[in-house]
Amino acid sequence: MIYLDLGPAITAIRARPEEFEFSGDTLYHPRSRHSFCFLNNGDVQVHANCDCSTLPTSNEQSKIFQAAYEKWHTTYWRPLEINREFASHFQPPGFWRRLVVKLLTYLLSRPSSPPPSSIKSVLPHTI
């Protein structure tokens, strides 16, 4: 049987990890628009808008690619996710939050209303 050669994808994920993304359970290579799903039986399923997805992958290369993916996920993707999350904790507040904080600050810093008895003395007498 003829198989899809995963060699270029294996080389790319090892040499250029920044070219890959991960979402849900799918590894994605945006530049080529190819995605890779790792099946429970150890096979790799390739999804693409070209003929690449018509050939199956061999068990041997699927195992090598999955091992390269697991190393990529551990050494590149997961630290990137953690650093992004950490950075998000220190970003300035969004527009709506800033607006609410300014409004609350304004409302709390206003002088309090005079008591009702002093309002009566300020109003003109009508009789």
Annotate the chain with DSSP letters as a single string: ---B--HHHHHHHHH-GGG-EEETTEEEETTTTEEEEE-TTS-EEEE-SSGGGGSPBPHHHHHHHHHHHHHHIIIIIHHHHHHHHHHHTTSPPPHHHHHHHHHHHHHHHSPPPPPHHHHHHHSPP--
Report pLDDT digits (tens) over 38-89: 998 889 999 999 998 999 999 999 999 999 999 999 999 999 999 999 998 8
pTM of the predicted protein model: 0.69
Residue pLDDT, tens place only, 93-117:
677 777 888 888 888 887 766 666 6
